[in-house]
């Protein structure tokens, strides 16, 4: 079994990003800044926010964290959108009233929408970027391969499908309406899952020599798990992301790549 470790790759990316931030600060006096807006207190959300804050600190990016009521968010976004010292804005999901998610994310300036949740965002979303970086980092060529993507969600599946098709990759996307899923996955050279449903992909659905990327995050018996069933990790004839440290570490890298790009656009 070959493991696709995002944690291993993230160290190299982090070093490059720290160099880019130093260069921006020294040559243009620009300190890239990310604003994070949080409307609910929740241990899991706090953990994710903490990881972002630590990563930013490590590479020299400033982070302003705002904790406020959901009805106050539009006014704050108005201020942050026009603040030239802020290069990226994210609304940490979920929010207190999820029905307002699209409405609020579309209020973030497309030039600062580093999570790419708004309809007119000028950046690629972090998790799809992370998946492509992971495959590229291990020299897995997608051209001429049969790629199957399981999941068509707004955050990962849909944007990743678009990015793959734009690159000329032969991708087939499976959603809840797709029939005969095992037949389709058994024909695939590369399988990417992003459903948030535990054990959606099992060993009998994967042919020898396949590459499996698990980008799903689900909760099972109080534990955070992926989409891939345990029996796949017993296989020696496939290449697969580990249970922890696969796509996740690169997702944070990709988010801050967008913040740095936004700051570089300001310099230009």
Given phi > 0 = left and psi -120 to 50 = alpha, else beta, which region is 221? left
212 - beta bridge partners?
A: 191, 240
Domain boundary residue, one of 59, 81, 111: 111
- Give the span between the Cα atoms of 120 and 146, in whole angstroms: 30
Same domain, 154 and 198: yes
Same domain, 130 and 243: yes
The residues pairing with 239 across neighbouring beta strands, listed in sequence order, are 2, 211
Give the model's pLDDT for residue 142. 96
Distance of CA 157 to the CA centre of its chain: 11
Q: Is the dihedral of CA 141, 226, 3, 209 positive or negative?
A: negative
Half-sphere exposure of 69 toward its Cβ, with a 13 Å CA cutoff? 2
Does residue 97 sit in the same domain as residue 143? no
pLDDT (average), residues 83-92: 97
Residue after which a domain boundary falls, among 84, 111, 138: 111
CATH of the domain at 59: 3.40.50.10860
| 57 and 157 both lie in a single domain | no
Domain range for 168: 126-248
How would DSSP label each residue in 210-225?
A: -EEEE---EEETTEEE
Instruction: Report yes or no on 155 lying in a domain.
Output: yes
The token pair at 150 is 């399981």
Does residue 116 lie within any of the structural domains?
A: no
Residues 132 and 207 in one domain: yes
Tens digit of each residue's pLDDT (9 = 90 or more) over 142-189? 999 999 999 998 889 999 999 999 999 999 999 999 999 999 999 999
Cα–Cα distances (Å) from 37 to 125, 126, 146, 215, in that order, read 18, 17, 40, 24
> Do residue 42 and residue 87 come from a single domain?
yes
Q: What is the model's pTM?
A: 0.92
Q: Is 69 part of a structural domain of the chain?
A: yes
Q: For residue range 59-79, what is the model confidence (pLDDT) as tens digits?
A: 999 999 999 999 999 999 999
The token pair at 31 is 């300190």
Residues 171 and 87 in one domain: no
Asked if the structure places residue 18 within a domain, the reply is: no
Relative to beta strand 223-225, strand 147-150 is: unpaired
Q: Are residues 37 and 106 in the same domain?
A: yes
Is 189 contained in some domain? yes
Give the separation between CA 31 and CA 119, rounded to whole angstroms: 27
- Say if 15 falls within a structural domain: no
Quick check: 218 pLDDT over 80?
no
Please check whether residues 213 and 134 belong to one and the same domain.
yes
Is residue 215 located within the same domain as residue 160? yes
Neighbouring residues of 52: CB distance < 8 A, sequence distance ≥ 6: 34, 36, 63, 252, 255
Taking CA atoms, 66 is separated from 76, 91, 92, in Å, by 9, 10, 10
* CATH number of the domain where residue 142 is located: 3.40.50.720
Whether residues 242 and 143 fall in one domain: yes
Separation between Cα atoms, residue 14 and residue 237, nearest integer Å: 31
Count of domains observed in the chain: 2
pLDDT for the residue numbered 35: 98
Average pLDDT, the chain: 95
Whether the CB-CB separation of 61 and 258 falls below 8 Å is answered with no
Q: Which of 111, 146, 173 is the last residue of a domain?
A: 111
In the chain, the percentage of residues whose pLDDT exceeds 90 is 90
* Residue 23 maps to a domain: no
**pLDDT tens digits, residue range 116-140?**
999 999 999 999 999 999 999 999 9
12, part of any domain: no
Residues 196 and 146 in one domain: yes
């Amino acid at each position: 079994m070959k493991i696709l470790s995002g944690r291993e790759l993230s160290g190299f990316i982090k070093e490059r990003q720290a160099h880019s931030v130093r260069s921006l600060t020294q040559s243009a006096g620009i300190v890239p800044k990310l604003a994070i807006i949080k409307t609910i207190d929740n241990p899991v959300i706090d953990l994710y926010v903490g990881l972002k804050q630590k990563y930013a600190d490590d590479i020299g990016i400033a982070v302003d964290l705002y904790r406020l009521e959901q009805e106050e968010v539009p006014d704050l976004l108005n201020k942050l959108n026009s603040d030239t010292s802020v290069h990226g804005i994210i609304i940490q999901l979920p929010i207190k009233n999820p029905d307002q998610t699209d409405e609020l994310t579309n209020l973030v300036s497309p030039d600062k929408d580093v999570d790419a949740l708004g309809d007119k965002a000028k950046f690629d979303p972090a998790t799809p970027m992370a998946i492509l970086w992971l495959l590229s980092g291990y020299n897995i060529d997608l051209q001429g391969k049969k790629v199957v993507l399981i999941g068509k969600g707004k955050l990962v599946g849909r944007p990743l499908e678009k990015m793959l098709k734009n690159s000329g990759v032969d991708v087939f996307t499976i959603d809840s309406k797709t029939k005969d899923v095992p037949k389709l996955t058994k024909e695939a050279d590369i399988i990417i899952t992003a459903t948030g449903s535990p054990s959606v992909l099992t060993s009998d659905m994967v042919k020898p020599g396949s590459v499996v990327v698990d980008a799903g995050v689900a909760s099972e018996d109080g534990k955070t798990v992926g989409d891939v069933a345990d029996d796949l990790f017993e296989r020696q004839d496939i290449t697969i992301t580990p249970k922890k440290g696969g796509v996740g570490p690169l997702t944070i890298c990709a988010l801050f790549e967008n913040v740095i790009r936004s700051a570089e656009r300001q310099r230009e």
